[in-house]
Chain A
Amino acid sequence: MTFDSNAFLIIFTGALIAISCGFLGVFLLLRKMSMTGDAISHAVLPGIVIGFFVSGSQRSLEVILGAGLLGILSTLMIDALRKKAKVQLDASIGITFTLLFAIGIILINLFAYKVDLDQECVLYGEIAYLPIDLWITPNGLNLGPRITWLAGINFFLILGFTYFLFKELSITSFDEQFSSAIGIPSKGINLALMSMVSYTTVSSFESVGAILVVALLVVPPSTAYLWTKSLIPLLRLTAALGILIAILGYYLAYWIDSSIAGMMVAVAGAFFFGSALIKGNWPLGLRGTSKSNPAFDS
């Protein structure tokens, strides 16, 4: 398999998902809420199970709605624990998502004999199977891979979201109190962002898996953050990194015959560590252009 249509479809879909997650991830990063993406990706499990139980299908609207509601519930719970119960943010994230995830597992075990669902299929998708999962209309028309369509719709949704709410997203990320003071609905914007994160996480799950989604939410924005000084270049570089990660991840996985999603995460990690090595403030000797380390002076 060299550059054929399957390779193109996988890379194209991977890049769409990487850019979508990256755009949302930038604002999570700036709000110091990157791990909320991880929390949401686990906390939606009960919603998926309930949606699945109600509809009997893994790909139903009920599943997306259930997961979306649980995603929002988890962000509200994290916020409430932090503000009302005075728990640290990291602890409240940990408490919320483990509890909701556990409830999801209990639900699966309660109903598993009735439905074909397990944690595996929710948490680990496989992007390699994407070209054979086709969207075929009732009258037999083949529209191509279903997941590529889904990723495309999500991409335009998120592009529109960041474009139209750019001003609101940036001001509430920088100075929430000031935005509330001048009448920008900070809480509403935050809720909208969290809903988008929930929806994106859930709709990307079965195609690329939760780990890749979480990685794409956190790693490309953090890498781009090391190189850029303002918001628009930060978003642009995040998108460029997303495309690079999809291309390199695919070919490296093909080369050593390994998981594509896993390799994409590894490539993203490599980009980050490479950038951190160049831009970070390391002791003398670890990087070429280092400032002199006072410990070695005199």
Chain B
Amino acid sequence: MITQVPQPVLEVHDLTVSYDQQPVLWNVDLSLPAGQLIGILGPNGAGKSTLIKSIMGLIPPTSGYIKIFNKPLQEVRTRISYVPQRESVDWNFPASVLDVVVMGTYGKLGLFRRPGKKEIQIAEDALEQVGMTAFTKRQISELSGGQQQRVFIARALAQQADLYLMDEPFAGVDMATETAIFQLEWVIMLNLHLVASGPKDQVMTEELFRKTYGGKLNLHTQVTDLIRKQDFNPLKS
């Protein structure tokens, strides 16, 4: 069991998630404090995306529950922002960069209401934060992979949320975008994809992580309890 933090932003209790009755995540317990940047590290297929998706309510849990800002997800949806993996959508969709970023404001707008000047301003500010102002009118199919990623991050910024959940957000982004991500308040949960060359239990050690991430790394204790099925899946903060 991970140590309980006082007034956690995100609490996951005894979460089990299965695909086709095949558990992917087992008895995950975690509770995250406010104002931190938190990464989930783990090898391919460890269930990092699954964890983020089940926190967002996109995959129903088999057991356990999740509380965000001490409330069930449904009550705080507009305070949470989500960046899915870039490959999850068709980038040939007929939309401009601005069209996609404005979508970030739809959650707060509610049914039937259309985005107006205020929403467009929010979207333009978000685009500025990720250095994509010059691409506002560009069609999304004409962007590079890194630019598409920045559009997704801008869309998340346009949600003006308190908690950001990002699934592999650093794929191909530039320094400015990275900085924009690091400057966000509250918690950001990142899925950091790791590639191990060699046996997992030898390569993915605490010692090697510390070497890679330097002084910034602060591994949460009892990491193996987090996702028990895997040898390994620590959190960094």
Contacts and interface: CB of A to CB of B under 8 A. Distances in A.
Interface of B: 53, 56-58, 74, 77-78, 80, 82, 84, 88-90, 93-96, 99-100, 103-104, 106-107, 109, 111-115, 139, 155, 159
Q: Chain A interface mostly helix, strand, loop or mixed?
A: helix
Contacts of B113: 167
B100 A174 contact: yes
- Counting contact residues on chain A (CB < 8 A from B), the size range is 20 to 34
A225 interface: yes
A170 B96 CA distance: 12
Contacts, number: 78
A96 to B, nearest CB: 22
Given A181-B57, A184-B106, A229 B89 contact: no
B86 to A, nearest CB: 11
Interface in A152-181: 164-168, 170-171, 173-175, 177-181
A137 interface: no
A140 interface: no
A175 B89 contact: yes
B57 A164 contact: no
A223 B93 CA distance: 15
Contact of A230 (B74, B78, B99, B103): B99
B88 A175 contact: yes
A229 B84 contact: no
Given A171-B103, A174-B89, A231-B99, 7 more contacts: A167-B113, A178-B82, A182-B78, A183-B77, A185-B111, A229-B94, A234-B94
Contacts of B88: 175, 177
Given A181-B58, A234-B94, A175 B112 contact: no
A225 B115 CA distance: 24
A233 B99 CA distance: 13
A55 interface: no
B111 A230 contact: no
A229 B57 CA distance: 32
Contacts of A231: 94-95, 99
B136 to A, nearest CB: 12
B94 A230 contact: yes
B150 to A, nearest CB: 16
Given A167-B115, A183-B77, A230 B107 contact: no
Contacts of A180: 56-58
Contacts of B77: 181-183
A179 B84 CA distance: 11
Interface centre among A30, A173, A181 (most CB of B within 10 A): A181
A153 B106 CA distance: 30
Interface string A177-218: 111111111000000000000000000000000000000000
Given A30-B93, A170-B95, A181 B82 contact: yes
